[in-house]
Amino acid sequence: MTSTPMNLNCFDLATRLKRGPAEHKGDAGKAILIGGAPGMAGALVLAGNACLHLGAGWTILEMFDPSSAHADANQPELMIRLASTQAHDALIKQDPDVIAIGPGLGSSPIAIEWIKAVLSFPKVPLIIDADALNCIADSEDLLNLLQHRNQQFPEMTVITPHPGEAARLLHSSSAKIQEDRQEAIHALVNQTQSIVVLKGQHTLIASPQHAVTQCMEGNPGMGTGGMGDILTGAITAIAAQGVCHQLNLWEATGIAVQLHATAADSLVEKGVGPIGLTPSETIMEMRSLLNKLL
């Protein structure tokens, strides 16, 4: 029988993000987010917007959709580039503090090249979501690379599957995952050796070094396309600032998961949702809540 997980309660840690008077963007970290294939550019822009509004020093989008790979007049702070075909060289040149891959990534050969490159890029916190997880589920080579990365650099990689993505990784079904979510997260930790965020009602987080914790916040208004993409952006931003603010990836992930769900609850309390609650509104609420926590 599985025990009841501890409730996620990590807002106290957010005070570490408070900025000193002389801090500059270099102290807030350089984040690179990769994805946005044709038809899904919005997923990467949402992740990037969350990363920007939650405080990363630089937010760089490696965009796969050529027609979206240009400055966004509505959000000119985002550095949106056409994803290079030389993924490894592009990473070396940009020297990121944190990397996220997956929102709207697709499964093209260049997507696979980027996944290989990020899994082989040493040491920096890495967030893997969405299609990147589906590609890993379909490839033993990519799964081996992920396991190898985690052996070399423990607790430096987080994967954020929803039940459908978890099912693909575990060669199961989302119904089975939902039947016993604790068993599923244990299986995902064992399989990938990563920090795992199993999304859905009462999101679970666990890792090889940490027992399962459960987020008690959140609501069904969050069932809108793009809501997971902004969680990826939020983890990325907090991990980027964490590099200079003494927050490791486990802690950054916990803060982001709780902030994301609490922001959605707060909006519903104000009557913004549950019906029609949008990820873009949730980004702004996360920003507001985070600043109140400092």
Ligand X SMILES: NC(=O)C1=CN([C@@H]2O[C@H](COP(=O)(O)OP(=O)(O)OC[C@H]3O[C@@H](n4cnc5c(N)ncnc54)[C@H](OP(=O)(O)O)[C@@H]3O)[C@@H](O)[C@H]2O)[C@@H](O)CC1
Ligand Y SMILES: Nc1ncnc2c1ncn2[C@@H]1O[C@H](COP(=O)(O)OP(=O)(O)O)[C@@H](O)[C@H]1O
Cα gap 199→257, rounded to integer Å: 9
Contact 97, 238 (CB under 8 A): no
Instruction: Select the residue interacting with ligand Y from 5, 55, 228, 233 (CB under 6 A).
Output: 228
Instruction: Select the residue interacting with ligand Y from 98, 127, 189, 231 (CB under 6 A).
Output: 231
Cα Rg for the chain, rounded, in angstroms?
A: 17
Contact 28, 247 (CB under 8 A): no
219 near ligand Y, rule: CB under 6 A: yes
Give buried/exposed letters for 13-25 (b at 16+ CB in 10 A, else e): bbebbeeeeeeee
Q: CB under 5 to 8 A by kind: which of ligand Y, ligand X, none does 219 bind?
A: ligand Y
Build a one-symbol-per-residue string for 34-63: x at contacts with ligand X by CB under 6 A, - elsewhere.
------x-xx--------------------
Q: Contacts with ligand Y in 87-146 (CB under 6 A)?
A: 130
Amino acid in position 39: G
Would you say 97 or 229 has its CB closer to ligand Y?
Answer: 229
Instruction: Select the residue interacting with ligand X from 180, 225, 269, 291 (CB under 6 A).
Output: 225
Phi, psi for residue 120 in degrees, rounded to 5: -95, -5
280 near ligand X, rule: CB under 6 A: no
Instruction: Select the residue interacting with ligand Y from 33, 136, 222, 247 (CB under 6 A).
Output: 222
Q: CB under 5 to 8 A by kind: which of ligand Y, ligand X, none does 203 bind?
A: ligand Y
131 near ligand X, rule: CB under 6 A: yes
Q: CB under 5 to 8 A by kind: which of ligand X, ligand Y, none does 131 bind?
A: ligand X
- SS3 sequence, 231-251? HHHHHHHHHHHHHHHCCCHHH
Cα gap 42→59, rounded to integer Å: 15
Q: Is 233 annotated as a binding residue?
A: no
48 Cβ contact list (under 8 Å, min separation 6) = 33, 59, 61, 75, 78, 80, 233
CA atoms within 13 A on the CB side of 37: 16
Query: Which residues participate in the annotated binding site?
Result: 43, 104, 162, 199-203, 228-229
Residues that bind ligand X (CB under 6 A): 40, 42-43, 103-105, 130-131, 162-165, 174, 178, 200, 225-226, 228-229
Residues that bind ligand Y (CB under 6 A): 130, 162, 199-201, 203, 218-220, 222-223, 225-229, 231
